[in-house]
Amino acid sequence: MTRMRARRGFTLLEVLVALVVTAMVVTLSYGAAQAGFDTEARLAKRRVSADALTAWRALLGDAIRHVERGVADDDAVFVLAGDSLQMMTRGVVPPLGTGERWLVTLAPGAEGVRLSAAPVEGSIGQGVSVVVRDARGLRVRVLPYVAGAWTDQWPRAAAVPAAVSVQLLDADGRELTPVLVARTRPAGESEEAP
């Protein structure tokens, strides 16, 4: 009769196999967790970008609809210079409203396309700035009241066009968002705050 001895521990091979399996499980778990964190970060970035674009479109639309009319020939109320736009406006909804004069500037820069609004001297309010970081350029076109063809030229800084079209562009010059088209308020027409 042979006698069997009881095993007292694991062999070196069993310990190595257990360590390899544990390392694989930990690596896979870490990879899955990291993918989840990356997805969450991308979604947060996209949400911030979408919020900025929504604010940008609302602010710009309000500013265009309420561009001030020039009083004298040398009043610069609407200046279109290449891919930048500057206009005097009296918004009707916050942050541009109600009734104060604001200088609104729209221009591309290193961080994206920036829309800045600052109260004009004597007006009450605090400046506002919104940047669309995905955009690197913009295309601004205007529609005159007379000879109704869209153009990217506006030589009459004291006059206001009938409508304005703004298109955000990516770094390659491709359209980034749907075009924003806003009609300006005809001369003498008033609008009340909501």
pLDDT per residue as tens digits for the range 122-159: 667 778 888 888 888 999 999 988 777 898 888 888 88
Residues in the chain where the model's pLDDT stays below 50: 188, 190-194
Predicted local distance difference test score (pLDDT) of residue 188: 46
Predicted local distance difference test score (pLDDT) of residue 52: 76
User: What is the rounded CA–CA span in Å between residue 137 and residue 146?
Assistant: 28
105 neighbors 86 (Cβ within 8 angstroms): yes
156 neighbors 144 (Cβ within 8 angstroms): no
3-state helix, strand, coil in the chain (%, to 5): 30, 30, 45
Residue with tokens 């990291």: 34
User: CA–CA distance from 126 to each of 8, 101, 102, 149 (Å)?
Assistant: 78, 12, 10, 37
Give the single-character DSSP code of 179.
P
Predicted local distance difference test score (pLDDT) of residue 133: 83
Structure tokens that stand for 91 in this block:
């918004």
90 neighbors 65 (Cβ within 8 angstroms): no
Predicted local distance difference test score (pLDDT) of residue 98: 63
193 neighbors 90 (Cβ within 8 angstroms): no
Predicted local distance difference test score (pLDDT) of residue 194: 37
Predicted local distance difference test score (pLDDT) of residue 191: 46
Q: Which residues pair with 115 in a beta bridge?
A: 106, 130
Both ends of the chain: CA-CA distance in Å?
102
